[in-house]
Amino acid sequence: MATAESDKTGLSSKGKYKVIGTRPIRPDGVDKVTGRARYGADIRLSGMLHGAILRSPYAHARIKSIDTSKAEQLEGVYAVITHKDFPDASDKIAELGEGSVNLKHLSSNVLADDKVLYKGHAVAAVAAETTHLAYEALDLIEVEYEPLTPVLDVRKAMQDDAPILHENQRMEDMSPDATTSDKPTNIYKKFFFEQGDPDAAFEKAHIVVEREFTTATVHQGYIEPHAATAVWSAEGKVTLYTCTQGTFTVRQQVAELLGLPLSYVKVIPTEIGGGFGGKIRVYIDPVAVALARKSGRPVKVVMDRASVFEATGPTPGSWIRMKLGVDAQGKIVAGDTEIAFESGAYPVSPIGAGCMCVFSCYDIPDGRIIGYDVCVNKPHSAAYRAPGSTQVAFATESVVDEICEKLGMDPIEFRLKNASVEGTRRVDGVAYPRIGLVETIEAIRDSEHYQTPLAGPNRGRGVASGYWMNAGLKSSVTATVNGDGKVSLVEGSTDIGGSRASIAMQFAETLGIPMEDVVPAVVDTDSVGYTDVTGGSRVTYATGWAAYEAALDVQRQLCDRAAEFWEVDSSEVTYDKEDAAVKGPDGKSFGFVELAEKVTQASEPVVGRGVSNHNEPGGAFGTHAVDVEVDPETGKVKILRYTAAQDVGTAIHPSYVEGQVQGGVVQGIGWALNEEYFYDEAGVMRNASYLDYRVPTCYDLPMIDPILVEVPNPGHPYGVRGVGEVPIAPPPAAIANAIYQAVGVRMRHLPMSPPHVLHEILKKEG
Amino acid sequence: MKDFEYEAPVSLATAIEQIAAGNGSVKVLAGGTDLIDHIRTGRLTPSLVVDVKKIPELNVLEINSDGLRLGASVSCASVYGNEDICRDYSALSDSCHIIGGIQIQNRASVGGNLCNSGPAADSIPSLIALDATCVIAGPQGTREIAAEDFCTAPGKNVLESGELLVELVMPARPAKSGSHYLRFIPRNEMDIAVVGVGASVMLDETGETIQSARIGIGAAAPTPLFAKEASELLTGLPANEESFAKAAAAAQEIVTPIDDMRGTVEFRTHVTGVLTKRALHVAVERARKS
């Protein structure tokens, strides 16, 4: 990996730390590669029943009646539930860390109330002795539907005569000329941000380019389907085993939906086979809990793949109008964009984040951003890795590329001239702290990849940048110093991308002990303090900070204990992390291991605690370069070479940072080339399997080369920035720009699948 | 999934009896790579599954001067594991190499691929190009039908209730003959044909003139097609790109594709021509080397 590049900036963490920047084996690695790690569907409890969910065959229909009596009479069936088994939910909004949810909508999404709003919408659920019996019982449930016309496209859904999903929905208009209307609408909210006078600025522009873009609905594509197992105690408390990005978030949602006290719900996390934002909102967890309560037995519910596609939370399809103006020297003078996101069956979508990201990479003195959150008859959209950023980067970075061509300016030179820097104020009002966008552009410019000319027919190179703001939020950690000199580190962040390692490394660094002497454990909601979701690229930043605080607490307690042993005042004792030792007056010293043993034998236990709730996560920028080859006869795009430069703040564990960058790029390539929800006119997804929902395989990808640029985040003790999300944003735009260089067609729709690319080629050839 | 009965007869006669008695609610299992998935997902709900892998007649793999006899349950891996098939019937081994991954190829059979009768089945255009005859046994005896006439609609074929595909017979391949199958998929692996074309050619002694050709096309109509006119117009033409282009244009005339999640009418029609040219090009190269 090309980490050497980052050293040239003089900003590398190399040499500054003992543990940070090294590449130890991750604590969860052996269990995962040997198949011993326990995932959601691996839970088996004695007396356990199996749940199954009846789903709507219609994309839009009114439920006239549900008759469950025949299913209830089938031998081996212990419980059948519908929406009626949930208490009435209020319109309260629950914050889930990366996004929020209206509890009434959440309740209707988990089991449909009076209407089904997408094909696959859950309608009823059964718990039975076996899975096959449960599915047989589903066939005995009689649901009478009144089918309604579905609306599947964001622009059609915005029209006045569109079928309406929610009769009581009125648009919330944030624009200055807002008028109130009592007309039902699919538009939940209109966002509006303006800076300066964009209309006047466009008048003076030398070149103006305005284009429209569309992107299809795509799924996170995590390998592990959702799985939840619930068991009740005799005293009315429930334990839930689930694969989730946030145990506390699941606890909150389940408690709210079922009307239970928060503390009566204990959520035990299993390992998680991917989430990417899709395992935050609950789907089957409340169903398992309700079935277990009604049957009096433990109940496991596991989704099949088709349900994961049809009935969890993909990321929105979108329509975007993008207009940029530049002066004769290539300086951007104005920007104006309208972004409409399909939020799916219920509001809200990540449109707010899309508005924040759309002009994030450039200094645009005069600009306007309008965003629409629009309901359509598709599953309720959810977060997906830098939610909203990829769609808008596709539009912005494609128009930037056209402007570069009209100016005759190299895309790197254009970006360096216009890049956001510390102090740049975005159109949505945020002014940046120290950021590293320029450094990522320079890293690409100086890379061996960009310096090597691309030869051969039908080949092209594209460049694009992207941004994600990252999140801070709340985390808790406790650390028990054991008699053998090792530390048990207890945390609440479920580990998706190597966070056991990155948290333990920051803890070890703070005490100057080897990472291998820290034993991390991801525990349930009764066993650690409140911790927000593993999302928003926040865990290494925020839970890492809590671990840093816990280590400082351990330092203080060890100093106090040593002072007692030496019978001196604790102000005379200091912790020396270089030597991992406690030092006192007259050359007195205890090594960490020695003191740990002594404390265990003769003093109060040393238990450190650390919490964090900081919100200066340091935005992350990336700039990517890609070489493609297009088959002009079939429109198939081959990725020849890919380099991704990213400001990662401080790379705590460089291998896992590189893995995050590579993983994000690969998902971006899938989104760019082939992934899409393909609907028929009735609103049925025709490709709800991995055969026809085409994520890239290893045969479709070159090695993705990451360049880690380290511009430390001033808002973190070790300079950490979130790294996981931003790498998904630039690939579609970079690939579109490369396709143009290769075969001369501008692709303005995602995915750029062979039929679409060939269509443009044939159109160009006449 | 609903419960079903399972039988694994060791003689052809017993199998036919059991299949006939099943009265339509019976499914034949060879490799099972399509069938098991369809049962699991509830698309098929047979009351009886008859496993035909233990019947000797369905395991025949013979290649001699009369041609190739391929039992209906012989696995794809056995096909491409046979050097003679790879040399003389290369379109068929090309197909067997790209049906699923290696684990699938160890189970899946060419006969099963044909009987599943998917429009995009990778082996059928090759069977058509190699002029295969399907040997069918049933309560009324044995009958034969050309590969291009076997499928009747997506997932449907000529097998009557109680009938079973026993083997596929292909004529011998003379000198200066070659064949090739290729498909278009959006990815490079683990995918299903958006268009597939199998072509076989026989050249004169000089290797410059086409004596005869056969072109089979998949995924571009409700059933795999024999491109008769495109094949026949090549007779007597020089084996060059200009001739291939003529055949490609004729092949494009007969396809009736649909718009779906794998491709569009425009795409499939265009790519039928592209793949026809490419398949002929490789088939001719192979013929010249043979």
- Nearest partner of A124 among A51, A226, A48, A228, judged by Cα: A51
Q: Give the span between the Cα atoms of B265 and A483, in whole angstroms.
A: 72
Strand arrangement, sheet containing A637-647? A459-468, A620-630, A637-647, A704-709
- CB-nearest partner of A755 from B1, B2, B263: B263
The predicted pLDDT at position A6 comes to 40
The minimum CA-CA distance between A753 and chain B, rounded to whole Å, is 7
Residue A524 shares a structural domain with residue A607: yes
- The answer to whether residue B260 scores a pLDDT higher than 60 is yes
Residue B115 shares a structural domain with residue B161: yes
Where residue A576 sits, what CATH number does that domain have? 3.30.365.10
Sorting pLDDT into bands at 50, 70 and 90, what band is A49? very high
Cross-chain residue pair A686–B1, CB shorter than 8 Å: no
Cross-chain residue pair A636–B274, CB shorter than 8 Å: no
Sorting pLDDT into bands at 50, 70 and 90, what band is A453? very high
Residue A630 shares a structural domain with residue A599: no
The minimum CA-CA distance between B99 and chain A, rounded to whole Å, is 13
Strands A172-173 and A187-195: parallel
Of the three residues B137, B171, B205, the one that is the final residue of a domain is B171
Q: Which residue is closest to B192 within chain A, CA to CA?
A: A691
How high does pLDDT run on average in chain A? Answer: 96
The minimum CA-CA distance between B186 and chain A, rounded to whole Å, is 7
Range of the domain at A519: 472-613
- The answer to whether residue A88 scores a pLDDT higher than 60 is yes
CB proximity A74 to B under 8 Å: no
Residue B268 shares a structural domain with residue B204: yes
The predicted pLDDT at position A11 comes to 45
Of the three residues A586, A613, A640, the one that is the final residue of a domain is A613
If you search the block for the tokens 């494609």, which residue do you land on? Answer: A398
Q: Give the span between the Cα atoms of B230 and B244, in whole angstroms.
A: 9
The minimum CA-CA distance between A622 and chain B, rounded to whole Å, is 26
In a domain, B74, yes or no: yes
Q: Give the span between the Cα atoms of A341 and A371, in whole angstroms.
A: 8
In a domain, A689, yes or no: yes
In a domain, A384, yes or no: no
Sorting pLDDT into bands at 50, 70 and 90, what band is A5? very low
Tell me the two tokens of residue B55.
């019947």
Residue A595 shares a structural domain with residue A623: no
- The answer to whether residue A227 scores a pLDDT higher than 90 is yes
- CB-nearest partner of B274 from A132, A634, A694: A634
- The answer to whether residue A208 scores a pLDDT higher than 80 is yes
- Nearest partner of B113 among B14, B221, B105, judged by Cα: B105
The predicted pLDDT at position A4 comes to 38
Residue A681 shares a structural domain with residue A576: no
Q: Give the span between the Cα atoms of A151 and A278, in whole angstroms.
A: 23
Question: How confident is the model over A727-747, as a mean pLDDT?
Answer: 98
Interface confidence, given as ipTM, is 0.95
- The answer to whether residue B82 scores a pLDDT higher than 70 is yes
The predicted pLDDT at position A696 comes to 97
The predicted pLDDT at position B42 comes to 85
In a domain, B57, yes or no: no
CB proximity A636 to B under 8 Å: yes
Residue A460 shares a structural domain with residue A477: no
Where residue B151 sits, what CATH number does that domain have? 3.30.465.10
The predicted pLDDT at position A13 comes to 64
Residues in chain B with CB shorter than 8 Å from the CB of A221 are none
Residue B233 shares a structural domain with residue B249: yes
Residue B143 shares a structural domain with residue B118: yes
In a domain, A46, yes or no: no
- CB-nearest partner of B260 from A306, A686, A691: A686
- CB-nearest partner of A759 from B191, B262, B266: B266
Contact call for residues B71 and B57 (beta carbons, < 8 A)? yes
Strand runs labelled E in A690-736: 704-709
In a domain, B270, yes or no: yes
If you search the block for the tokens 């400082």, which residue do you land on? Answer: A552
Cross-chain residue pair A633–B267, CB shorter than 8 Å: no
Cross-chain residue pair B1–A132, CB shorter than 8 Å: yes
SS3 of chain A: helix, strand, coil, percent, to 5: 30, 25, 45
Question: How confident is the model over A135-152, as a mean pLDDT?
Answer: 97
pLDDT in tens, A650-672: 999 999 999 999 999 999 999 99
Q: Which residue is closest to B40 within chain A, CA to CA?
A: A132
Residue A459 shares a structural domain with residue A504: no
In a domain, A563, yes or no: yes
Cross-chain residue pair B186–A758, CB shorter than 8 Å: no
The predicted pLDDT at position B86 comes to 97
The predicted pLDDT at position B22 comes to 81
- Nearest partner of A19 among A506, A657, A708, A485, judged by Cα: A506
Count: domains in chain B: 3
Of the three residues A584, A613, A642, the one that is the final residue of a domain is A613
- CB-nearest partner of A754 from B42, B188, B267: B267
Which SS3 state, helix, strand or coil, does residue B100 take? coil
The minimum CA-CA distance between A629 and chain B, rounded to whole Å, is 14
Residue B253 shares a structural domain with residue B206: yes
Residue A640 shares a structural domain with residue A745: yes
Residue A117 neighbours by CB under 8 Å, 6+ apart: A59, A60, A165, A345, A346, A375, A377
Residues in chain A with CB shorter than 8 Å from the CB of B196 are none
Residue A539 shares a structural domain with residue A642: no
| CA torsion, ordered B217, B223, B226, B230, to nearest 10 deg | -60
Count: domains in chain A: 2
The minimum CA-CA distance between A683 and chain B, rounded to whole Å, is 13
In a domain, B56, yes or no: no
Residue B204 shares a structural domain with residue B140: no
Where residue B189 sits, what CATH number does that domain have? 3.30.390.50
Share of chain B above pLDDT 70, in %: 100
Residue B32 shares a structural domain with residue B93: no
Q: Which helix (H) or strand (E) holds B181?
A: strand B177-184
Residue A538 shares a structural domain with residue A654: no
The minimum CA-CA distance between A755 and chain B, rounded to whole Å, is 5
From residue A29, alpha-carbon distances to A1, A269, A506, A656, B68 in Å are: 21, 17, 18, 12, 51
Residues in chain B with CB shorter than 8 Å from the CB of A218 are none
Residue A632 shares a structural domain with residue A605: no
Residue A621 shares a structural domain with residue A590: no
Residues in chain A with CB shorter than 8 Å from the CB of B41 are 306
DSSP state string for A265-327: EEEEE-B-S--TTSSSS-SSHHHHHHHHHHHSS-EEEE--HHHHHHHS--BPPEEEEEEEEE-
- Nearest partner of B89 among B170, B163, B209, judged by Cα: B170
Tell me the two tokens of residue A732.
């579609």
The predicted pLDDT at position A180 comes to 84
pLDDT in tens, A603-652: 999 999 999 999 889 899 999 999 999 999 999 999 999 999 999 999 99
Cross-chain residue pair A691–B191, CB shorter than 8 Å: yes
Cross-chain residue pair B187–A696, CB shorter than 8 Å: yes
In a domain, B62, yes or no: no
Of the three residues A613, A636, A651, the one that is the final residue of a domain is A613
Q: Which residue is closest to A751 within chain B, CA to CA?
A: B186
In a domain, B61, yes or no: no
Of the three residues B171, B200, B225, the one that is the final residue of a domain is B171
Output the furthest CA–CA distance in chain B (Å, rounded).
Answer: 61
- The answer to whether residue A136 scores a pLDDT higher than 60 is yes
- Nearest partner of B182 among B144, B217, B141, B156, judged by Cα: B217
Residue B143 shares a structural domain with residue B182: no
Return the amino acid letter for A467: Y
Residue B210 shares a structural domain with residue B262: yes
CB proximity B187 to A under 8 Å: yes
Q: Give the span between the Cα atoms of B134 and B125, in whole angstroms.
A: 14
Question: How confident is the model over A74-81, as a mean pLDDT?
Answer: 98
CB proximity B248 to A under 8 Å: no
Residue A730 burial (C-beta neighbours within 10 Å; 0-12, 13-18, 19+): buried
Residue B149 shares a structural domain with residue B231: no
CB proximity A701 to B under 8 Å: no
- CB-nearest partner of A634 from B190, B192, B271: B271
Range of the domain at B235: 177-285
- The answer to whether residue A218 scores a pLDDT higher than 50 is yes
In a domain, B155, yes or no: yes
Residue B186 shares a structural domain with residue B279: yes
- Nearest partner of A273 among A300, A239, A305, judged by Cα: A305
Of the three residues B112, B143, B171, the one that is the final residue of a domain is B171
Q: Give the span between the Cα atoms of A10 and B28, in whole angstroms.
A: 69
Residues in chain A with CB shorter than 8 Å from the CB of B2 are 132, 136
Q: What is the interface size between A and B, counted as CB pairs within 8 Å?
A: 63
Question: How confident is the model over A720-741, as a mean pLDDT?
Answer: 98
Share of chain A above pLDDT 70, in %: 98
Cross-chain residue pair A758–B270, CB shorter than 8 Å: yes
In a domain, B146, yes or no: yes
Q: Give the span between the Cα atoms of A78 and B111, in whole angstroms.
A: 44
Residue A659 shares a structural domain with residue A705: yes
Q: Give the span between the Cα atoms of A746 and A650, in whole angstroms.
A: 37
CB proximity A223 to B under 8 Å: no
Residue B75 shares a structural domain with residue B167: yes
pLDDT in tens, B197-220: 999 999 999 999 999 999 999 999
- The answer to whether residue A146 scores a pLDDT higher than 70 is yes
In a domain, A651, yes or no: yes
- The answer to whether residue B56 scores a pLDDT higher than 50 is yes
